[in-house]
């Protein structure tokens, strides 16, 4: 693994800081190991199964943080998203979690970290401290009484022993200079190697994700076609039929009494105007022209200004995205505002639009927060939806449509809606789908 070019001193300081962080995190790893050992005898009795989900959640968080620290030190990019564990699980789901490949990697990392992180942390502190103490204290051996001499690696009672102590301190310093970066690299590389899935496993997961996204995209596309067909059939088509009928009646009336044809012509004109408005609305729902004219921030401002519930918009961190992604974000925001107005009973809505930039890709985030009654939930079956936090048997809110639209772009819906509110709908749309 290649590390970024840094000066020798800066590299050592970075390695020292990384080892100290890992040494401090060793306490959490040890606590996790002890908790697992305490829980293990109760698993055959069935009682211990109640503690397994929480234990796996904590282990997953510890491993994710360790992976982030190692990637930050190595300048590496983590090319995958870790799983999120929350909610309740059936016995079958629990068994699948325990036997999952990611759980096995997390447990392997825990054993590795418990074995080596403390040693690395102690050496990171001990070697520089020993070097500094021996070199700095040895020349002052004369200040100590003869019956209580300076005692470091050995008693210092003469300039010869003081010189030996200084040389030993320099040896400690050289060892720290050479050993600490090596230990940091080994610990960081080991963490990333253990917690990173094998190439074939990552490719398999990616294929599954792409298959799910493709299915969601096809479902969303079919739903859009059905909606457009209904709007054209029930709206513009019926009005155009009315135009033809009115023109036919006007033609017959004009043959006998031209003045009687005028009302029919007026009604035909009104029907044609309504049909044109319906066609414009259908075309607008395919791709809103306002996105081309004003961009997503301007289109979002227009949506929030028309919201029945007062809505505040913050789009300061927003950058341009591909047209398809901006269109999806526009409709997600429109649906979320409609849901909040219809179902939440809110008096205020906060809308946040911004772009999260990572080394992997840019992610367009649409977040809508209302101060309503809460309790919203997403119907089961949308694989891209993160389990709802704090929501009970929710009322129908149309959030499943938002989830499907996000999944079509490889994105996800994150919903937090405890009873009593507030409700936060957050949709993340990758810009490099």
Give the pLDDT of residue 94: 66
> How many angstroms separate the CA atoms of 228 and 224, rounded?
6
Contact residues for 132 (Cβ-Cβ < 8 A; gap 6+): 169
Sign of the CA dihedral running 420, 308, 305, 376: positive
Written as tens digits, the pLDDT of the chain (433 aa) is: 444 444 777 777 888 888 888 888 888 888 888 888 877 766 666 555 666 777 888 888 888 888 888 888 877 666 556 666 655 556 566 666 777 778 888 888 888 888 888 888 788 777 787 777 777 777 766 666 666 666 666 666 677 777 777 787 788 778 778 888 888 888 888 888 888 776 545 556 666 666 666 666 666 666 666 766 776 666 667 777 777 887 777 777 777 777 777 787 777 777 777 777 776 666 555 566 777 778 888 888 888 888 888 999 988 888 888 888 888 888 889 888 988 888 888 889 999 999 988 766 788 999 999 988 888 776 544 433 343 333 333 444 467 778 877 877 778 888 888 888 788 999 988 886 5
Write out the E strands in 94-193: 150-151, 155-156
To 10 degrees, the CA torsion angle through 68, 72, 74, 75? 120
CB atoms near residue 286 (< 10 Å): 10
378 with 413: CB under 8 angstroms? yes
Strand partners, 355: 364
In degrees to the nearest 10, what's the CA dihedral of 19, 21, 26, 27? 140
Pairing of strands 349-357, 311-317: parallel
- Which tokens hold the place of 369? 């927060």
pLDDT at 368: 92
Other C-beta atoms closer than 10 Å to the C-beta of 363 total: 19
Q: 223, 112 in Cβ contact below 8 A?
A: no
User: Which is it for the CA torsion 139, 179, 192, 358, positive or negative?
Assistant: positive
- Going by C-beta distance under 8 Å and a sequence separation of 6 or more, which residues neighbour residue 389? 86, 415, 416, 417, 418
Q: Are 431 and 363 in contact (CB under 8 A)?
A: yes
Half-sphere exposure of 51 (CA within 13 A, CB side): 15
- SS3 (DSSP) at 45: coil
CB-side exposure of 130: number of CA atoms within 13 Å?
21
Residue 400, CA atoms < 13 Å, CB-side half-sphere:
10
Distance separating alpha carbons of residues 110 and 41, to the nearest angstrom: 19
Provide the pLDDT for residue 393.
Answer: 37
For the entire predicted model, the pTM comes to 0.48
Phi first, then psi, for residue 193 (nearest 5°) are: -70, -40
C-alpha span between 256 and 243 (Å, rounded): 21
Helices 101-137, 8-39: axis angle to 10 degrees equals 130
Residue 407's pLDDT is: 78
Q: How far is CA 152 from CA 35, 85, 124, in A?
A: 39, 51, 19
Give 210-217's long-range contacts (Cβ < 8 A, gap of 24+): 210/410, 212/383, 212/384, 212/407, 213/384, 213/407, 213/408, 213/409, 213/410, 213/433, 216/383, 216/384, 216/404, 216/407, 216/408, 217/407, 217/408, 217/409
Cα 141 to Cα 147, 150, 159, 165, 172, distances in angstroms = 12, 6, 8, 10, 19
Q: How far is residue 213's CA from residue 270's CA, in Å, rounded to a whole number?
A: 44
Write down how long the chain is.
433
For 43-77, letters b (16+ CB in 10 Å) and e give eeeeeebeebbeebebbbebbbebbebbbebbebe
CA distance 203 to 285: 36
The Cβ of residue 236 has, within 10 Å, a number of other Cβ atoms equal to 19
Note whether 131 and 176 are within 8 A (CB). yes
């Amino acid at each position: 693994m290649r590390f970024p070019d840094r000066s020798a001193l800066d590299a050592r300081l970075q390695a020292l800081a990384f080892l100290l962080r890992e040494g401090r995190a060793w306490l959490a790893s040890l606590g996790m190991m002890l908790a697992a050992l305490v829980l293990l005898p109760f698993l055959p009795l069935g009682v211990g199964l109640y503690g397994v989900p929480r234990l796996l959640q904590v282990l997953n968080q510890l491993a994710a943080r360790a992976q982030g620290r190692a990637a930050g030190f190595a300048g590496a990019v983590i090319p995958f998203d870790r799983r999120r564990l929350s909610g309740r699980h059936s016995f079958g789901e629990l068994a699948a979690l325990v036997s999952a490949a990611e759980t096995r990697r997390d447990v392997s990392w825990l054993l590795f970290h418990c074995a080596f992180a403390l040693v690395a942390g102690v050496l990171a502190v001990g070697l520089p401290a020993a070097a500094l103490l021996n070199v700095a204290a040895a020349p002052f051996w004369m200040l100590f009484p003869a019956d209580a001499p300076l005692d470091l690696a050995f008693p210092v009672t003469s300039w010869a022993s003081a010189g030996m102590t200084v040389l030993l301190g320099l040896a400690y310093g050289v060892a720290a200079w050479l050993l600490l970066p090596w230990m940091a690299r080994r610990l960081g590389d080991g963490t990333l190697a253990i917690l990173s899935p094998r190439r074939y496993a990552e490719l398999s997961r990616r294929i599954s994700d792409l298959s799910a996204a493709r299915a969601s995209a096809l479902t969303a596309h079919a739903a859009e076609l059905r909606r457009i067909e209904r709007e054209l059939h029930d709206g513009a088509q019926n009005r155009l039929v009315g135009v033809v009928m009115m023109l036919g009646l006007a033609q017959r009336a004009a043959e006998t009494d031209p003045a009687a044809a005028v009302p029919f012509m007026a009604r035909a004109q009104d029907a044609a105007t309504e049909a044109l408005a319906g066609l414009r609305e259908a075309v607008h729902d395919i791709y809103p022209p306002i996105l081309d004219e004003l961009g997503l921030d301007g289109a979002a401002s227009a949506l929030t200004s028309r919201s029945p519930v007062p809505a505040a918009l913050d789009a300061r961190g927003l950058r341009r995205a591909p047209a398809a992604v901006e269109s999806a974000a526009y409709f997600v925001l429109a649906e979320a505002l409609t849901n909040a107005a219809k179902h939440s009973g809110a008096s205020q809505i906060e809308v946040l639009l911004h772009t999260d930039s990572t080394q992997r890709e840019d992610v367009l985030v649409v977040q809508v927060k209302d101060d309503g009654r809460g309790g919203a939930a997403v119907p089961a079956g949308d694989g891209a939806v993160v389990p709802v936090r704090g929501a009970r048997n929710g009322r129908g809110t149309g959030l499943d449509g938002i989830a499907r639209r996000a999944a079509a772009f490889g994105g996800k819906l994150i919903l937090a809606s405890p009873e009593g509110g507030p409700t936060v709908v957050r949709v993340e749309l990758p810009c490099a789908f």
